[in-house]
Chain A
Amino acid sequence: MEYLPNILFAVLLIAGIGYFTRNVKKLRRNIMLGRDIDLSDNKPQRWKNMMRIALGQSKMVVRPIAGLMHIIVYLGFIIINIEVLEIIIDGLLGTHRVFAFMGGFYDFLIASFEILALLVIVAVVVFWLRRNALKLARFVKPEMKGWPKNDANWILYIELILMALFLTMNASDLQLQRMEVAHYTEAGSFPVSQWITPLFEGMSASTVVLIERSAWWLHIAGILFFLNYLYYSKHLHILLAFPNTYFGNLKPKGQFSNNDAVTKEVRLMMDPNADPFAAPAEDATPPDKFGASDVKDLKWVQLLSAYTCTECGRCTSECPANQTGKKLSPRKIMMDTRDRLEEVGRNMDKNKGTFVDDGKQLLDDYITREELWACTSCNACVEACPVSIDPLSIIMDMRQYLVMEQSAAPAELNAMMGNIENNGAPWPFNQMDRLNWASETA
């Protein structure tokens, strides 16, 4: 019986990490449903981008208030997780503060965790107020109704609870150290939780132990719960921001990729020696669909981005179409892509790993044509994204599908394209008049 807590802890840990691993595999499978794209180039630049943008938070601070608050929570998350390592070892071995042998440095560590925990609580409260009291425009857009709004608040509540449990755990531990209760050897410095400790004065040692153990167990259980919550939440960005910034676009933002399948067709058309009546070879693979109408037509990196999006809405608040009341919201493009991808994933889970046509697709069932045609391709959303997501590339791929597979461009654009085709300009002017300006005197 003596080892019961250790065994219980090991079971909890394995279950928590096991379930998370299962979901990570699912996540990977879903992302790999996308079309292939080779992003193995330029590794030094990619590492640099990841260090600067994800680790260094360089794009977060473009908006100073949100950026500063975010850095606090981010640092809190990373640094306080050193403490989790100690908690895991204590849990498995039944030790008390196993890192205490570090002495003064241990005191420094615990003290900085405590200060960060307090700062995280402050930041989380500010974040909650921004969403629920100030109701900043980007947090109350139509796509934020329901789960996205609740998800955002749940994350804040969980973080608040975790920090409160952490401080309660330390405060009761300190009280037990002062009471010189066996097992609770003196260790750590508690600049924040020492102010909570007086609450426990006068309580019996067993009561304080009960409080300390409860806080300790709930804290680690809470962390494991949070880890597993990630897959179902926009909060996945804390992990995926790293690969997403690594695989982010390195080319000038204005450079849209040329569709190789089209290049092949064009080359054939321009080749005077090509046989226009040649039948395709028997074993020829049918050509890829032009553009994208569903998630599987997108590149895997676009699907990775959909899972990375944390719905902050900086893209949408910079979008000229959205600012002027159009339906387009780049954030919704990413959210829809993820929702559809999850739907496809669930479909595969249900059908032994193969996708069974459900009569739905990303286009029309999630993203409307009106949204797609409202885009000015100005790259404001791409510039705004703190984790290198490119919503514009999805919009362009879907436009390509609409035009090349469905001939479903708005009539005015068809007229424009007809002009280009016939006379080499988007307007109905004769190409032979192209130099007339030089002889006009006006």
Chain B
Amino acid sequence: MNVPTMASLFAEGKEPEVLFWVGCAGSFDDRAKKITKAFVKLLEKAGVSFAVLGTEESCSGDPAKRAGNEFLFQMQAVTNIEVMNGYGIKKVVTACPHCFNTLKNEYPGLGGNYEVMHHTQFLKQLLEEGRLTLQGGTFRGKRITFHDPCYLGRANNVYEAPRELIRKLDAELVEMKNCKQRGLCCGAGGAQMFKEAEKGDKEVNIERTEQALETQPEIIAAACPFCNTMMTDGVKNKEKEGAIAVMDIAELMSKAEDL
């Protein structure tokens, strides 16, 4: 896969339309890397000129901030901002709602002002502009339920873009009893991803998976690499991994297009 970096484009004197902010999960987590690649394929198909920061990218600082380490967060933020401002970045797209939220909302106060989009918003825009077309077919009539990532939904009021994409796949979108504003967290936010949960009588991801299973879906669609992990674990815990797939919306679209 030939993925241009900002450094290489900059050396050629070129400026991409958009920076693809990959994020730590998208860069290192084996499951999330598949989402990253699926999204890149869609970008390529749509002919979007994009680049990544590659080894110049560093953690957005979201988990540090949510864990209470404001200092580490701001150090990460100003370092990233320095790199991005150095390249004159104007527009950023990312497949991680945590990076999306942090870059969009918390970087401006530290000198980083960009137009930041979540990949579902970006893909929706590509479809609307006719730069990307969907054949449908693969998922026609399939029952797909969508799990709202907290940092996309409640945190930033993005509920429709991912749903619109699922509808465009001709799939049957089935909603869980808790969705949109009242969507239940997968259990990973607020730095919980990196620690054991406190003592309780259940894991949050199991509770959420049960809500998803109630809709009898063939696919649980996610739009966040961390939600993806939590829901995948939940489905495995229920021993349903043979029947139900947990897929990112970018993966659904890329599969629909046979990319």
Contacts and interface: CB of A to CB of B under 8 A. Distances in A.
Interface in A244-276: 251-256, 258-259, 262-263, 265-267, 269-270
Contacts of A266: 71, 74-75, 78
Contact of A376 (B22, B28, B189): B189
Contacts of B54: 434-435
Contacts of A436: 27
B184 to A, nearest CB: 6
Contacts of B170: none
Size class of the B contact interface (CB-based, 8 Å): 35 or more
Contact of A434 (B55, B75, B154, B196): B55
B154 A409 contact: no
Interface residues of A, number: 70
Contacts, number: 223
Contacts of B155: 252-255, 379
Contact of A400 (B3, B68, B189, B194): B68
B70 A259 contact: yes
B26 to A, nearest CB: 8
Given A327-B198, A434-B55, A318 B182 contact: yes
B209 interface: no
Interface in A297-340: 318, 320-321, 323-328
Interface stretch (A64-72, A122-130, A218-226, A417-425): A417-425
A376 B199 contact: no
Interface stretch (B58-66, B128-136, B232-240, B248-256): B58-66
B36 interface: yes
A12 B22 CA distance: 69
Contacts of A426: 24, 59, 63, 193-194
A437 B182 CA distance: 35
Contacts of B105: 251-252, 254-255
B74 A326 contact: no
Given A324-B202, A425-B28, A378 B68 contact: no
Find the residue from B106, B110, B150, B157 having the highest chain A CB count within 10 A: B150
Nearest to A264: B74
A402 B187 CA distance: 22
Contacts of B125: none
A215 to B, nearest CB: 45
A345 interface: no
A115 B189 CA distance: 49
Given A379-B155, A439-B1, A417 B72 contact: yes
Nearest to B157: A252
Contact of A252 (B28, B74, B156, B208): B156
Interface string B190-214: 1111111111111110111000000
Nearest to A384: B182
B53 to A, nearest CB: 8
15 contacts: A253-B156, A255-B106, A259-B70, A262-B70, A323-B202, A324-B207, A377-B150, A380-B185, A403-B68, A404-B68, A415-B194, A417-B63, A421-B75, A426-B63, A437-B33
Given A258-B70, A270-B82, 15 more contacts: A252-B157, A254-B101, A254-B105, A254-B151, A254-B155, A258-B106, A290-B70, A370-B199, A376-B188, A377-B66, A377-B190, A379-B154, A383-B181, A415-B194, A437-B26
Interface of A: 62, 251-256, 258-259, 262-263, 265-267, 269-270, 290-291, 318, 320-321, 323-328, 370, 373-380, 382-384, 396, 399-404, 409-410, 412-413, 415-417, 420-421, 424-427, 429, 431-440
